[in-house]
Amino acid sequence: MRTLIIIIVMLTAWIIFNANTQVNNDGWVAPASYDTLKNPFANNEKAIAEGKKIYESTCWSCHGITGKGDGPAAAATNPKPADHTSDKLLSETDGALLWKITKGKGQMPAYEQLFSKQQRWKLVCYIRELGKNQTVK
């Protein structure tokens, strides 16, 4: 019986260890089917403004007010919140960002329940806007 418990404990530790290394090393890639989705609000000024409102109430604590991933709660996350102005992010499709906001990962919350799909698209619009502001130097 004791041996069995030791085996179970070790197995659990091994599974947790592997799950952790996966969170740290794995790239986070959205299903390819999302890459072809079209943002219904692309370049829509009103949608950008609405996305900004949500971003500045819900997302900034981790991602920072300018989207650099340096919000006050960022110190407590591992990995760090994504920099929404980075080249990596700029290279992703709108659909991929929508999927990530919808599903979440680790400490990045899933917003499928909290925000409607339209609101999530508007957040994508605003993230694009953050990227534009940063690249104009």
Site string for ligand HEC, 59-88 (x = CB under 6 A): x-xxx---------x---x-x-xx-----x
Quick one: which of 18, 42, 47, 39 has its CA closest to 98?
Answer: 39
* Residues ≥6 apart with Cβ < 8 Å to 71: 60, 61, 62, 63, 64, 65, 81
Cα separation, 85 vs 68, in Å, equals 6
- Structure-block tokens of residue 136: 């104009």
Q: What is the DSSP letter of 44?
A: -
Residue 125 binding ligand HEC, by CB under 6 A:
no
Note the Cα 136 to chain centre separation in Å. Answer: 23
Q: How far is the CB of 118 from ligand HEC (least distance, A)?
A: 13
Of residues 66, 102, 107, 134, which one binds ligand HEC by CB under 6 A? 107
Instruction: Report the residue number, 7 or 73, with the smaller CB distance to ligand HEC.
Output: 73
Of residues 50, 67, 85, 97, which one binds ligand HEC by CB under 6 A? 97
Of residues 101, 121, 122, 130, which one binds ligand HEC by CB under 6 A? 101
Residue 109 binding ligand HEC, by CB under 6 A:
yes
Cα separation, 16 vs 5, in Å, equals 16
Residues that bind ligand HEC (CB under 6 A): 23, 28, 58-59, 61-63, 73, 77, 79, 81-82, 88-89, 92, 97, 100-101, 105-109, 111, 123
